[in-house]
Structure 1
Amino acid sequence: MAHFLLFVSKIFVNKKGKLVNLKLLLCALGLAIAGAGTANATLITKHWGFEAQTSGPISHHKGYFSYQYNTETQDAELTAIDFALGDYVFSLDDVLFDIDSSFILLGGKINRINGVTPNTNDFYLLFLPGQGFASFHYTQAGWNAIDRVTPVVTELAGPPVTTNPDPVDVAEPGTLGLIGAGLAGLALATLRRRKAAA
């Protein structure tokens, strides 16, 4: 690396320690910055349906939800929910969502994402895609109990829909190296100039 920086400094600094080829240096830095790697993050949209038979006041539960997963940032966002407990219809504003490499968790916001308190309109659904584990808990206003059952969770028909959002600028190692070399050359030129003046 030191040899490379010395080589670059020779291009932009003459034997007297004066900065030369300034236009070339600025042009190289501009091209390096403009050419910073632009990585296209991919949003994967997935749709899941779930059904559960329970012994509470509502004997059959059915709903679905959708989420988008960003492959670049690894963030996930709930984009749709269609689920109700009797007359209480859940919206995106009162549902929490979490996902990691092994599980997906969806639940009412009223008692946190993974807890339910009797006599409130609340639920949570936890499942591990492809591993056969799923759990559905629910309660509702006017019912002082909680029902816990194993639901059927299914990824809805069709492959994930993939779209490309706005490109995310990600500096590639080569680009960073060019910028670093240019800045090192400038620093070296400044040091030589100071030594020559002393």
Structure 2
Amino acid sequence: MNEIEKIQSLKAEIKEKHEKIKKSMILLVQMLGGEVEPVNGQTYKAVEETGSNCVIESFVYEDGKLMVRTDFDGDNFTLELDSFHTEELANILYLMLEENKNHLQQKIDRLFQAFLKEHRQEEPLYASCCVKYLDNSPHADVTIKLNNELDDQDDLLFYYCNSLNGIKSLCDFGVEEFILTDVYELLDRL
């Protein structure tokens, strides 16, 4: 194989990898309910195929396609994934999800500190939460127990964690068949 043939082969391999990245991104956004957007007004900049700079507002699964909501200096557009460099959008999606996870884990820490202050160092037993199964199920409001002790109200509990770190771990993909999407409050009783 000469150098030109090697280059052509590598280009085909890169294109195939980009298609795999796109399919994974579509599946991920679908699993998360069809939309992923940043928290706290965090902005992510990208370059459209035309060379124009823009801000990525969110990723949305619409009509069987992954679309990207953008802001071009105040003008909002929803563009197809192919309007951008795949690896750049994959990196932005990853950063959004990491930032969202970190934000939720910090919220859990703030709720915990507020609970301790209000309840004179008594630790919470439950967390009122929202979860999303990693399929086409809708979001669900649930109660999670914050220790592994069997509870007499077991039928009201969605999940048992062994600690505060246990509930924080549910913000990560792959820990369970669901992901924690919000924590409303920490409780000492149901």
Structure 1 and Structure 2 fold alike (TM over 0.5): no
Q: Calculate the TM-score normalised by the size of structure 1.
A: 0.23
Higher relative CO (CA 8 A, sep ≥ 6), structure 1 or 2? 1
Q: Larger radius of gyration, structure 1 or 2? A: 1
With the length of structure 2 as denominator, give the TM-score of the two structures. 0.23
Whose strand fraction is larger, Structure 1's or Structure 2's? Answer: 1
More helix by share: 2
